[in-house]
Amino acid sequence: MPKYLSSVLRIRPALFVSFAILAVGCVPALHEELLREPDRQLPETFGPAWNSDVPGTDSTSVEVPWRDYFKDAELGALIETALDNNQELNIRIQEIVVAQNEILVRTGEYLPSVDVGVGAGVEKVGLVTSQGMSDEAHGVPESLGDYRLGFSASWEVDIWNRLRNSARAATLQYLASIEGRNFMVTRIVAEIATTYYELTALDRQLEVLRQNIELQSNALEIVKLEKAAGVVTELAVQRFEAEVLKNRSLQFELEQKIVETQNRLSFLVGRYPQTVPRNATSLDDTTPMIVQTGIPSELLENRPDVKQAELQLAAADLDIQAARARFYPSLSIEAGLGLESYKADRLLSSSDSIFYGIGGGLVAPLVNRRAIKAEYSSKGAERLKAVLQYEQTLLLAFTEVANQLSMIDNLQKSYDLQSQQVSILGQAIEVSNTLFQSARADYMEVLLTRRDYLDAQMELIDTQLAQKKATVNVYQALGGGWR
């Protein structure tokens, strides 16, 4: 071997090693803020007014299946149907399928690729070229065929785990999409329950309004008789009649709200508008619910949106590692095996048509590093975004639970006082009627007392509805409904 050639062979490996070390050493450092860990510390309790360790049970309310938490059979049937037919939930399921396929795509990137191919062609080179003159001298035909049958393989050896980390990140995103679907289930269960209770509350308010319209109509007839007897004036008759007309108008408003609420429920269930069966006594249970909250740190396991944010953060960590590996040299291996001939009849008949080849190469980025740096920096920013989203989700989860627990307590106190108000105003109506008939009270006192009684009844139903909503919201806030 010539001396200069042996020297080159000795020098080139050293040059390449130096080149690779230089490329690795130039990996830029990300700002510390981009790589910080999220704050997972939560307060020990949800609030001073709530005991998070209710005796007599070891389980939290979130562990209760929705079928047991919502005991109304009509409501349970609606939720069951929605979990099968809700379009938004079915869309989320297809997103899970897409994420699952992404795992297969990225996994295939670090596995060897093997292809098979068949080719045929013809080539004519110029006679005045060196190849043309050589072919003519050796009797090679002017138009030369090219027939090929063979296999080719390529493989990028994942020495820095870039491709594997990318595949692991896709797996975590797939798991995050499942948690996203679970969070969607909690939302749908809660939204259907809330809308169902709104519908029953509207039914109750319509019933109360119709009862009051009947009573006011009877009172109007009495006032007309009093006018005929000269006890009251026409003004009293007109004021009572106007009150009846106002409440009849309100009746149609309530009926329209009932139609819209039924249609909203039908939409959530995934069907066209229709009458929704409901239990008329669903608001009657006003006993304050004892909510077993557990400890706040259990939100990390019970809330699907918190778990989703955690998985997305883990995927962002792997994406940074994959982006960093792009600065390092990559090793690729390529090979080929098959048959090749300039005549089709000799392609399979002669062993001389066999060809094969194998080779490998190391490549490291040197000049076009700006795009790699930009991608690396972007992955760092995306990771910080995932950290902030995780902290925001955790803060929101804790705040929602604390708000709903406080609301349950305050609504019960409000309901007790409003119940007393309704009872007193019901007695006041009888008193005002008696005083009016004995001319010791004017018609305005009777009219205002009846109006106050109707308003108090409506407000009491609104409070009952708010109580039901609070029990639904705290169940959702704790992460219930998806199991």
CATH number at residue 375: 1.20.1600.10
Q: Is residue 397 part of a domain?
A: yes
- 405 in helix, strand or coil? helix
Q: What is the pLDDT along the chain (483 residues), one digit of tens a residue?
A: 444 334 434 444 555 555 555 555 578 888 888 889 999 998 888 875 444 444 333 456 777 888 888 889 999 999 999 999 998 888 888 989 999 999 999 888 888 899 999 988 888 888 888 888 887 787 778 788 888 999 999 998 988 999 999 999 999 999 999 999 999 999 999 999 999 999 999 999 999 999 999 988 988 888 898 888 888 889 989 998 999 999 999 999 999 999 999 999 999 999 999 999 998 888 877 665 666 777 888 888 889 999 999 999 999 999 999 999 988 888 899 999 999 988 888 888 878 889 899 998 888 777 678 888 999 999 999 999 999 999 999 999 999 999 998 998 899 999 999 999 999 999 998 898 888 777 777 888 888 889 999 999 999 999 999 999 999 999 999 988 887
CA-CA distance, 273 to 417, in Å (whole number)? 38
Structure confidence at residue 14 (pLDDT): 52
CA-CA distance, 314 to 387, in Å (whole number)? 10
Residue 142's φ and ψ, nearest 5 degrees, are -60, -45
Q: Count CA atoms closer than 13 A to 224's CA, side-chain side.
A: 7
Tokens matching residue 331: 């090793």
Beta carbons of 397 and 474 less than 8 angstroms apart:
no
DSSP class of 232? S
CA-CA distance, 110 to 245, in Å (whole number)? 77
The tally of domains found in the chain comes to 1
Structure confidence at residue 53 (pLDDT): 44
**Of 328, 392, 338, whose CA–CA distance to 363 is shortest?**
328
What DSSP line would sit under 84-103, residue for residue?
HH-HHHHHHHHHHHHHHHHH
Structure confidence at residue 233 (pLDDT): 86
- 258 in helix, strand or coil? helix
| Element (DSSP H or E) covering residue 362 | strand 354-363
Handedness of CA 321, 324, 326, 327 (dihedral sign): negative
CA-CA distance, 481 to 182, in Å (whole number)? 9
| Element (DSSP H or E) covering residue 331 | strand 330-341
Close Cβ partners of 411 (under 8 Å, ≥ 6 residues apart):
463, 466, 467, 470
Tokens matching residue 172: 């975590």
Q: Is residue 133 part of a domain?
A: no
Tokens matching residue 374: 């930009």
How many residues are listed for the chain in this entry?
A: 483
Q: At what angle do helices 234-269 and 162-228 cross, to 10 degrees?
A: 160
- pTM over cut 0.85: no
Structure confidence at residue 418 (pLDDT): 95
Q: Is residue 209 part of a domain?
A: yes
CA-CA distance, 124 to 131, in Å (whole number)? 10
Q: Is residue 129 part of a domain?
A: no
Structure confidence at residue 362 (pLDDT): 83
Q: Is residue 35 part of a domain?
A: no
Q: Count CA atoms closer than 13 A to 41's CA, side-chain side.
A: 2
Give the residue numbers spanning the domain of 384. Answer: 58-123+140-477
Residue 97's φ and ψ, nearest 5 degrees, are -60, -40
Q: Is residue 131 part of a domain?
A: no
- 119 in helix, strand or coil? strand
CA-CA distance, 196 to 55, in Å (whole number)? 32
Q: Is residue 8 part of a domain?
A: no
Beta carbons of 396 and 469 less than 8 angstroms apart:
no
Rounded to whole angstroms, the maximal C-alpha distance in the chain is: 138
Q: Is residue 250 part of a domain?
A: yes
